[in-house]
A = this chain, B = another copy of it.
């Protein structure tokens, strides 16, 4: 893929002193949102794209920090001059969502009522709350309407929700590797992950900060499990197969197969830095997401609320959110006569395909965004 990185970037913090009432009934009296921007907002303020993050993502979407050259944004491969999210043309905004653990107000930031981390007292957040908070950030940046909102997985759900909550403020929604709601199996995986964290003796009912510990065992298990669902069976087979770590069976519970080494490494790495309460909140936001509830479960009626153009992309090897789930969204849009493009990629990385660089997949995004009239 041609194009370059955006290079050195900076993050910013926007403080909001107006309370936000959440879907769960909870209220945040004030909050911070950490965000980054790449490219330049044009005079008409018509070229802004919002990038929404998935479960473990954040505001550092592209580029690197001047003092941390190896700290590359999580979707750097798609953003920059000449890349599909072309910063010569677009003004890109990424943020850390409410409840996150990368600087925005969340369970690990101080509860103004106590001065201590919110912990388990942080209210549940829903996708619709994130979209509301993102709309306030747009106000702050002077953006009346996004040229596009884009995201993969849980990020795609935010793009979808934008098209429903603020039909006049989003011109295009790019919904990648996503679903209109979780299946029972999706919820089941989330619940096992949550139970791993909730039953970790170091969880302390969510107030582990005060105990000077973190539920790393539970978080590690949650991430190992998550990783299985992010990868395709085939890719896992091709990459790891039954290859042994040390050439022969050791007949103990240390790492025996390469796949075990990979999973444990991923689990350890994640558990070392991610906040467990945030992980819990994100999985609950996934479970709750079901915009068709607005209309008695009828997704077609819900999508009648939208005005945007849509690009929906799925991956044949994604068994977490299969192409069939994306096609539910497409069908509901088509039934309403909405302008919708759909692409199915055969990228072999399962659910994680949406993060990968691939000429076909990126070409689809590129072509769609190039055709938007600013």
Residues of chain B contacted by A26 (CB below 8 angstroms): 251
Cα-based distance from A256 to B284 in the complex (angstroms): 10
Nearest residue, chain B, Cβ from A252 = B124
Cα-based distance from A194 to B252 in the complex (angstroms): 12
Task: Tell me if A185 and B236 are in contact (CB < 8 A).
Answer: yes
Asked if A272 CB lies within 8 Å of chain B CBs, one says no
With A253-B194, A253-B280 known as contacts, the answer to whether A184 contacts B225 (CB < 8 A) is no
Q: Mark A182-220, 1 if CB is under 8 A from B, else 0.
A: 111101110110111011110000000000000001001
Task: Tell me if B185 and A199 are in contact (CB < 8 A).
Answer: no
Asked if A263 CB lies within 8 Å of chain B CBs, one says yes
Q: Mark A209-244, 1 if CB is under 8 A from B, else 0.
A: 000000001001100110110010100110111100
Other-chain contact of A199, B192, B217, B233, B287 (Cβ < 8 Å): B217
Residues of chain B contacted by A195 (CB below 8 angstroms): 220-221, 224, 264, 267
Cα-based distance from A290 to B241 in the complex (angstroms): 12
Chain A interface: which size bin?
A: 35 or more
Q: Mark A21-39, 1 if CB is under 8 A from B, else 0.
A: 0001110000000000000
Residues of chain B contacted by A263 (CB below 8 angstroms): 188, 191-192
Cα-based distance from A280 to B242 in the complex (angstroms): 19
Residues of chain B contacted by A183 (CB below 8 angstroms): 233, 236-237, 242
Task: Tell me if A224 and B184 are in contact (CB < 8 A).
Answer: no
Cα-based distance from A195 to B25 in the complex (angstroms): 37
A231 to chain B, nearest CB (A): 8
Asked if A62 CB lies within 8 Å of chain B CBs, one says no
Asked if A260 CB lies within 8 Å of chain B CBs, one says yes
With A181-B242, A183-B236, A217-B199 known as contacts, the answer to whether A188 contacts B288 (CB < 8 A) is no
Task: Tell me if B124 and A251 are in contact (CB < 8 A).
Answer: yes
Nearest residue, chain B, Cβ from A231 = B185
Asked if A75 CB lies within 8 Å of chain B CBs, one says no
Nearest residue, chain B, Cβ from A262 = B188
Residues of chain B contacted by A242 (CB below 8 angstroms): 181-184, 187, 290
With A228-B189, A228-B192 known as contacts, the answer to whether A241 contacts B184 (CB < 8 A) is yes
Cα-based distance from A227 to B185 in the complex (angstroms): 10
Cα-based distance from A181 to B243 in the complex (angstroms): 13
Task: Tell me if A233 and B185 are in contact (CB < 8 A).
Answer: yes
Task: Tell me if B124 and A260 are in contact (CB < 8 A).
Answer: no
Question: Which residues 72-126 of A sit at the B interface, judged by CB distance below 8 A?
Answer: 123-124
Nearest residue, chain B, Cβ from A120 = B253
Other-chain contact of A288, B184, B231, B249 (Cβ < 8 Å): B249
Asked if A259 CB lies within 8 Å of chain B CBs, one says yes
A125 to chain B, nearest CB (A): 10
A49 to chain B, nearest CB (A): 31
Residues of chain B contacted by A233 (CB below 8 angstroms): 183-185
Asked if A65 CB lies within 8 Å of chain B CBs, one says no
Question: Apart from A185-B228, A225-B225, what 6 extra A-B contacts exist at CB < 8 Å?
Answer: A183-B237, A184-B233, A184-B240, A199-B221, A200-B217, A242-B290
